[in-house]
Amino acid sequence: MDDSVVRIRQGRLRGAPAGYGYRFLAIPYARPPAETGRFAAPEPARPWDGVRDANTFGAAALQVERGVSLTRDPHVRGPDCLNLNVFTPALDAAGLPVLFWVHGGGFVHGSNASPWYNGAKFARDGVVVVAINYRLGAEGFLLLPGAPPNRAVLDCVAGLQWVQENIAVFGGDPARVTIAGQSSGAGVCSALLAVPRARGLFRGAIFMSGSAGLEMSTQRATDVATRMAAIAGVELTRHDFERLSDEALLAAQAEILDARSQMDKVAALDVSLEGAYLTLAPVVDGDVMTETVLQAASSPANKDVTLMVGTTAHEFKMFMLDQDWITPDVLRDALVRSGVRPDLADQYLAMHSMDNPAETAGQIKTDRGLRVLAHRLLEAWSEAAGTGFGYEFRWAPSDGEMAGTSVHAVDLPFAFDLLGVEGMEALAGANPPQELADFMHASFASFVKDMSPGWPEYRAGERATMVFDLPPRVEYDPAARELELWG
């Protein structure tokens, strides 16, 4: 057996050869919340004696068991959830760029142990990958009096600080870090733009299917916390929530997350068409997160960060198909109630087939909640003289459950060059094109290395956008009509 031992600040670690280099799993970057308090700010991990084995995936954050997840996250339970994995091409390398990966899962699910986040192919191409676990749900995001806000975001800051102190041991360059995430992972990464204590910890950022607009106001976050306290039967204090068992906390969280199902169906449709609304999310609290993501995009403090932002073409198109009560008139009325001019609503609906209005409702959620906000963020970045790049993943399978649809998360295995990963066939059919994975993965690796994915910068007025399809191509202003509605 290869004795792949390295020494970091806390002590010695033993990893193992894996794929195109080495991997080190479940490295603690902060003390377990069970020791410091589930609602405490992260504290640096304690040192250890001897050699710590780093060959088994670590515990994920507290979350409800949900069976088979989209990204096949194994749910490893345990108290030591503040851990990260490192994939590196060589232990004798130096100065390599670093991809700091934040998993998705609606801010309430997920794990860095998902096979979809295997960093081996990036290591093959000279990139060190760090994949982090962080607190989820109420533990990570609930706004509690007496507790630091945005604990999940602070966990990621602590992970980035760990990278600054230790990544050179694995061949990485702490000055060449790119943060990246998909869905709510992208939401956490975009929140970091508005966190002063995160500045200087990364030079690039990749937001996949999540950017601006996922954060919450303090008023909305307080409303959620007040309702959750009532459900749990406790006072809205850190002390009372600390005393809840894991099961009681998760039960209260599950009920608050399920609130939309209790709404009148028309009201629920209105909320859905607002966009990617999530009940627990980063909060613009004024201390940790000092402004909205769009405000941060215009801040001179971020001028040295380079962005890459994109979505799939049909993120949520397939996720409202059970709403068979939605008719074309119901959908039009909902659009008008949301503030869209009647003539523009008619134009939008004319762009889409009305054979299944519920499918079009899912596309509205996609356009309004993710695609338009991606362009808004890039435009604000461009107008502030920042460098940014836009993309849209438009390839869709011709067979399988999602035929004709570029659904949420289908782009992940293309970016990581993992088309054979378990669960991919459900999203991409039987034969996803390796040539597109080669192109997309190379683009992402190029961005992490050189801060350029290989296509023109996004500039307001032009909106250059790489379309990941066969063939890949650059289009200008591909979401013009959607931006007219909601821009």
Which residues are tagged catalytic? 183, 315, 408
Q: How far apart are the two ends of the chain, measured CA to CA in Å?
A: 57
Tokens of 454: 């290989």
Task: Give the span between the Cα atoms of 210 and 482, in whole angstroms.
Answer: 17
DSSP element (H, E) containing 34: helix 33-36
DSSP element (H, E) containing 24: strand 21-28
Determine the 3-state secondary structure of 270 from DSSP.
helix
DSSP string, 360-397: HHHHHHHIIIIIHHHHHHHHHHHHTT--EEEEEE----
CA-angle at 309, arms to 377 and 220, nearest 5°: 50
Tokens of 229: 């306290």
Task: Give the span between the Cα atoms of 114 and 231, in whole angstroms.
Answer: 32
Which residues are within 8 A (CB) of 329 and not within 5 positions of it... i.e. 6 or more apart?
none
- Map tokens 């232990």 to a residue: 91
Eight-class DSSP state of 47: P
HSE value, Cβ hemisphere, 13 Å, CA-based, for 15: 23
DSSP element (H, E) containing 53: strand 51-53
- Map tokens 């990941």 to a residue: 468
Exposed/middle/buried for residue 414 (C-beta within 10 Å: 0-12, 13-18, 19+): buried
Q: Is the peptide bond before 453 cis (omega within 30 degrees of 0)?
A: no
Closest CA to 101 of 130, 126, 81, 75: 130
Closest CA to 103 of 61, 142, 141, 52: 61
